[in-house]
Amino acid sequence: MRDVARAVEMSPMTVSRALRGDETVNEKTRDRIRRVAADLGYVYDSTAQAFRTQKSGFVAVVLPSINNANFAETFRGLSDALTGSGVQLLLGSTNYRLEKEEELVGQLLTRNPEAIVLTGGHHTDVTRKLLENAKIPVIEIWDLPPDPVGHVVGFSNADAMSLIVQHLVRQGRRKLAFVGAAAGSDMRGVARRDGVIAAATALDLTQVAQIDAGPAPVSMRHGAEVVVKLGPAIATYDALVCVSDPVAFGVLNECRRLGIKIPDDVAITGFGHFEIAAVSSPRLTTAGVHANKIGRKVAGVLQDIFAGETSAQWIDVGSELVLGETS
């Protein structure tokens, strides 16, 4: 910047103002400075700016996995809605592990983010303390935590599952099984399972079987493996409620390979309304969530925060039953 200042024979202060588009700088001067800066190949140093102003221009985003169409879609919604605002997203993924989240949050906070977005409402005590000490806005997404740290943009996983269970029961299904990751690793999966159990209990179903599809993240392959491992025992159930669409699709495909009739022999439901739900045949019955909308809503919350709004927001984007041909 000093070099540019020397080239235009002005002070670095004026150059700084000109490059940031400060109105107080004469318009011609501003254009000239910009032109010279470009000619010299000058690259603005955001690090120095972040240091001096104590504003990093970063927002930290922590996802369980980026290799998941729905989380990726949320990130995209957020990212798209934020283009042009000058905010950079710092992405980290936890692989569905809370200890990894703790480590990640510690690292991200050293970068002075202006806000932090976390997936889910479950965190270690250390993480919670870090977040409170940091005194920056916290947004928890993809869930409606009973005891949120700050802002919330999500939906109730349990309620969404309840819609599915009610639908199945209306159809006369009574012997449900929940197919999901091993308990404990994926908190959203646990919430969904609990939602199924609660809804089933409310409807006087005796019991819901739980089928372990392995450690999170579970996907198509794991769904198929569950069916193989189950063997003829699959006839015990009249509905397989899966933790996600990819798992449901794996289950569906393997069932069809084995000649099991869907939905006559057994109903299959997914979760998340992934692209696969609409293009599989038969189409999957699933819970429609609004991944992209979550991202865009988060962007809205961030903009409110940057505009000076201080009160904590609680946004429930809801979910809906998407009827397919597998139930």
Partner DNA sequence: CGGTAACATGGTATCGGTAACAACTTAAGG
Partner DNA sequence: CCTTAAGTTGTTACCGATACCATGTTACCG
Binding site for a second copy (CB under 8 A): 41, 43-48, 50-51, 56, 65-67, 69, 72-73, 75-76, 79, 88-91, 93, 107, 109-112, 129, 133-134, 219-221, 224, 246, 249-250, 253, 256-257, 275-276, 278-281
Report 54-93 residues binding DNA (CB under 7 A): 54
Task: List C-alpha distances in Å: 197 to 67, 113, 201.
Answer: 28, 39, 6
17: part of which helix (H) or strand (E)? helix 12-20
155 binds, among DNA, a second copy, none (CB under 5 to 8 A by kind): none
Residue 221 binds which entry of DNA, a second copy, none, with Cβ cut-offs from 5 to 8 Å by kind? a second copy
Applying CB under 7 A, among 7, 16, 156, 283 the residue interacting with DNA is 16
CB of 112 to a second copy, least distance (A): 5
Burial 69-83 (b: 16+ CB within 10 A, else e): bbbbbbbebbbebbe
Strands (E), the chain: 58-63, 88-93, 115-119, 138-141, 151-154, 176-180, 209-212, 239-242, 267-269, 286-288, 314-316, 320-322
The count of residues in the chain is 327
DSSP 169-217: HHTT---EEEEESPTTT-HHHHHHHHHHHHHHHHTT-S--EEEE--SSS
> How far apart are the C-alpha atoms of 55 and 47, rounded to whole Å?
10
Partner from a second copy, DNA, none contacting 220, C-beta within 5 to 8 A by type: a second copy
Among DNA, a second copy, none, residue 2 binds (CB under 5-8 Å by kind): DNA
Site membership for DNA, residue 49 (CB under 7 A): yes
Residue 184 found at the interface with DNA (CB under 7 A): no
Interaction between residue 19 and DNA (CB under 7 A): yes
The bridge status of strand 286-288 relative to strand 320-322 is antiparallel
Q: What is the 3-state secondary structure (H, E, C) of 219-257?
A: CHHHHHHHHHHHHHHHHHCCEEEECCHHHHHHHHHHHHH
How far apart are alpha carbons 37 and 241 in whole angstroms? Answer: 61
Q: Are 161 and 287 in contact (CB under 8 A)?
A: yes
The conformation of residue 285, written as its DSSP 8-state character, comes to B
Three-state DSSP at 266 gives coil
Q: Which CB, 7 or 312, lies closer to DNA?
A: 7
Q: How far is the CB of 133 from a second copy (least distance, A)?
A: 5
Is position 2 an interface residue for DNA (rule: CB under 7 A)?
yes
Q: Coil, strand or helix: which one is 168?
A: helix
From DNA, a second copy, none, which one binds at residue 53 (CB under 5 to 8 Å depending on kind)? DNA
Q: Two tokens at 192?
A: 């969904």
Both tokens assigned to 271: 């979760």
**Smallest distance, Å, CB 109 to DNA?**
12
Could you tell me which stretch among 44-52, 136-144, 169-177, 220-228 binds DNA (CB under 7 A)?
A: 44-52
Nearer to DNA, 30 or 290 (CB): 30
Judged by CB under 7 A, the residue of 31, 38, 40, 48 near DNA is: 48
The reply on whether position 314 binds DNA by CB under 7 A is no
12 touches DNA by CB under 7 A: yes
**Residue 133 lies near DNA (rule: CB under 7 A):** no
Q: Which does 93 bind (CB under 5 to 8 A by kind): a second copy, DNA, none?
A: a second copy
Q: Which of 6, 38, 44, 314 binds DNA (CB under 7 A)?
A: 44
Which residues bind to DNA, rule: CB under 7 A? 1-2, 9-14, 16-17, 19-20, 23-27, 29, 44-45, 48-49, 51-54
